[in-house]
Amino acid sequence: MINIALPKGRLGEKVYKILEESGYACPEFTKDNRKLVFTNEESGVTYFWVKPSDVPIYVELGAADIGVVGKDILLEQESDVYELLDLKMGKCRMCVAAKNGFIQDTSRPLRVATKFVNIAKKYYNGLNREIEVIKLNGSIELAPLINLSDVIVDIVETGTTLKENDLKVYEEILSISTRLIANKSSYKFKFKEICAIKDTLSRVINND
Amino acid sequence: MKIKLDNLKKDEQISLKLEAVYEKFGYRKFKMRSFEEYSMYLSYSDFLLSKNIITFSGLDGKLLALRPDVTLSIIKNTKASKSNTEKLFYNEKVYREFSKEYKEINQTGVELIGNINLYSYAEITTLALKSLECIGSDYVLDISDMAVVGAIIDEIEPSDSEKAVLYEFLKAKNIDDFLAYATKKEISEEKINAFCALIKVSGGEKEFDAFVKDIAISEKISTALNNFKAVLSVLSKQDGGDKINVNFSIYGNADYYNGLIFNGYVQGVPKAVLSGGRYDKLLQKFGKEVGAIGFAVYLGEIERYLENDVPSTDILVLFKEDADIEELIKAVNDLISKGYSVRVDTAIPEDFKFLKLFVFDNGCLVEKKND
């Protein structure tokens, strides 16, 4: 039996759809109900819907053998898991953004507002730039507008939100996409099953 | 008096079994004190799993630390030389950060310091396999070789910071990000294939052989591979050799480890429960020109995943406070001398398991049948 942690939302549903069509269906799964665990003995899979940022925790601690999660969350949490496949979905960029016309004052620490504290720290450490991190949980774009921070580090998909708030991408840190991850211990004991799911997903994604 | 091993917690039972295994192979138990001078850990902090250490001032004003690791203490004290090999094991508590808190963790391990040869490799892996067998019936020993991994990474000619990136790809078995990186850096197809093969290897001697052709792209790599294959061939033929799995994604700090490194997994525990390898380079840093190989079993890691039966007492005796206490003591001692474990109380305690219930009434014990 393979336990799969899927992120609640559009991405999780998209990945489930592929698995469903490839023989890993769980008929009850898509029904609109409040159940959290779905098992199909025949195809040997159990699915859980979990909060996207919790997926690596379920997988690292072995409650799920494999999971689907964004690279941003993996990098932020520095999860100790195998990253088996780039699912090439949910593509976006982790960027530094600032107000249009922003000029950096290099004589003082840079004030950075972000949800991704570790990613921001790692990036600026690499540049040897001293920063002051302001951890926010939402509406990050507001910070530079009201002078709470100089810049923000956040995910940029289309750039529309930035544009509407008179902000622009200042630097690109890295590209983000959705990944298939596996627990290191499960990978030894359920090697064939995990590889079969990985290969199935890989085939479908690369044929798209 | 009869000592009931069943009443020990599972991790305590395992640690006794492990000690028995190591003693059978002629390893001597090494006992050490719980404090070390902090300066030693400071010098070798990269070797430690966590850099946070509990420190305090000794009576002479020197800064001391509660031991976060055992291997460094053993190396510091070893008198081993090329002609005098030491074979030691320990079963100690270590104090280190775990899930953002300081924890006291039970750690058992084995160290072989002195003259290292092919037999040493076989003996240490046998001990590792037998240790895993003590923990669970289904287990895997992942093995890798620092020389093979180092040779391939050198072939890609990365800078120091890029080396760390390549090790990250390997550790996470992240082929897709490596391919993106390789395209950007214009790495040759041959080298890309070799590194991807290194990531993909997972299996025994036969499965590994299928990848050798892709990996052996230079003289230096071929030499390293041949040495590793010779070791693997011996290890695979020993008892439990079918549990050996070649996996180059194991991480070992190249400043300390050289040669064979390994991690042990037991089904049902999500993280490695055993880890070790050859660490001559660490001894060199201590100015000791001898070889060393060993491993640690993380009993603390195992403890959380083992189901302990709540220990039960044989007999619970209930008495009223106005009872004849002298007679009660006699009756209880009588039961204990017959080999029963007995708890005496005035009421049934909460969360307490017992097999028989007796009530002390009118100077004698009367059994109450459980409903």
Instruction: List average pLDDT for each run of 10 residues in chain A, which is 208 residues long.
Output: 93 91 81 78 89 96 96 94 95 95 91 96 93 94 95 93 93 94 96 94 86
**pLDDT the model gives residue A206:** 85
Q: Flag whether residue A64 sits within 8 Å of chain B, measured between CB atoms.
A: no
Residue B1, pLDDT > 60, answer: no
Chain B positions touching A81 (Cβ under 8 A) are 172
Predicted pLDDT at B162: 87
**Can you tell me the distance from the alpha carbon of A143 to that of A165, in angstroms, rounded to the nearest whole number?**
11
What is the per-residue pLDDT for B303?
76
Q: Report the C-alpha gap between A153 and A137 in whole angstroms.
A: 12
Q: What pLDDT, on the 0 to 100 scale, is given for residue B7?
A: 66
pLDDT over 60 at B371, yes or no: no
Query: What single-letter amino acid sits at B8?
Result: L
A185 with B142: Cβ contact below 8 A: no
Predicted confidence (pLDDT) per residue in B331-358, tens digit: 999 999 988 889 999 999 888 888 889 9
**Cβ of A82 and B172 within 8 Å?**
yes
What residue has token string 């002195």? Answer: B114
Chain B residues with beta carbon closer than 8 angstroms to that of A185 = 265-267, 269-272
Question: Which residue would you say has higher pLDDT here, B326 or B161?
Answer: B326
Short-list B21, B37, B40, B41, CA closest to B29:
B21
DSSP state for residue B309 in the 8-state scheme? P
- B202 → closest Cβ in A62, A83, A191: A191
Q: With pLDDT > 70 as the criterion, what percentage of chain A qualifies?
A: 97
In this prediction, residue B40 carries a pLDDT of 85
Distance CA B42, CA A176 (A): 37
On chain A, the residues whose CB falls within 8 A of the CB of B265 are 184-185, 188-189
For residue B120, name the pLDDT band (cuts at 50, 70, 90): very high
pLDDT at position A208 is 67
Our CA-based measurement puts residue B143 at a distance from the nearest CA of chain A, in whole angstroms, of 12
Q: Judge: A84–B173 Cβ closer than 8 Å, yes or no.
A: yes
The residue among B56 and B99 whose pLDDT is bigger is B56
Task: Report residue B159's pLDDT band, with 50, 70 and 90 as the boundaries.
Answer: confident
Q: What is the pLDDT of residues B239-280, one digit of tens each?
A: 889 999 999 999 888 778 889 999 999 998 999 999 999 999
ipTM of the complex: 0.86
Distance between CA atoms of B142 and B201, rounded to whole angstroms?
A: 11
Q: Are B158 and B165 in contact (CB under 8 A)?
A: yes
How confident is the model at residue B46, as a pLDDT? 76
Cβ atoms of B178 and B199 within 8 Å: the answer is yes
Q: What distances in angstroms separate CA B2 from CA B5, B184, B332, B338, one per listed residue? A: 9, 69, 17, 10
pLDDT of res. B183: 92
Across the interface, of B173, B176, B266, the residue whose CB is closest to A82 is B173
Kindly list the residues from chain B whose CB atom is less than 8 angstroms away from the CB atom of residue A80: 271
Tokens of B174: 């992240």
Is B199 at the interface with chain A, CB within 8 A? no
Contact A60 B265 (CB under 8 A): no
Cβ–Cβ contact A185 with B under 8 A: yes
* Pairing mode, strands A110-114 and A45-50: unpaired
Query: Can you give the pLDDT at residue A201?
Result: 93
Residue B212 clears pLDDT 70, i.e. is over it: yes
Residue A62, chain B, CB below 8 Å: the answer is yes
- Report helix angle B118-135 to B10-24, nearest 10: 150
Selecting from B140, B174, B177 the residue whose C-beta is nearest the C-beta of A188 gives B140
Chain B residues with beta carbon closer than 8 angstroms to that of A86: 176-177
Instruction: Return mean pLDDT, chain B.
Output: 89
**Arithmetic mean of pLDDT over chain A:** 92
Distance from CA of A100 to the nearest CA of B (A): 30
Short-list B344, B143, B96, B369, CA closest to B240 = B143
Contact at CB, B265 and A81, closer than 8 angstroms? no
Interface test with A, best of B161, B271, B301, B306 (most A CBs within 10 A): B271
- Interface mutation vs chain B, best among A72, A77, A83, A118, most B CBs within 10 Å: A83
**Token code pair at residue B164:** 């760390």
Whether the CB of B267 is below 8 Å from some CB of chain A: the reply is yes
Q: Check residue B27 and give its pLDDT.
A: 96
Counting beta carbons within 10 angstroms of the beta carbon of residue B54, is it exposed (0 to 12), middle (13 to 18) or buried (19 or more)?
Answer: middle
**What distances in angstroms separate CA B165 from CA A174, B153, B181, one per listed residue?**
14, 11, 9
- Evaluate if residue B322 carries a pLDDT over 60: yes
Q: Which two tokens stand for residue B60?
A: 């002479």
Sign of CA dihedral A35, A198, B209, B173: negative
The mean per-residue pLDDT over the stretch B16-42 comes to: 91
The CB-based long-range contact list for B175-181 (8 Å cut-off, 24+ gap) reads: B175/B199, B175/B200, B176/A83, B176/A85, B176/A86, B177/A83, B177/A86
Digit-coded pLDDT (tens) for B136-147: 889 999 999 999
> What pLDDT is stored for residue B311 in this prediction?
67
Structure tokens at A62: 């072995």
Give CA–CA dist B65/A101, Å, rounded. Answer: 52
Q: pTM, whole model, 2 decimals?
A: 0.85
Predicted confidence (pLDDT) per residue in B272-312, tens digit: 999 999 999 989 988 899 999 999 998 877 877 776 666 67
pLDDT tier at B4, thresholds 50, 70, 90: low
B296 inside 8 A of chain A by CB: no
> Are B22 and B14 in contact, with CB atoms under 8 Å apart?
no
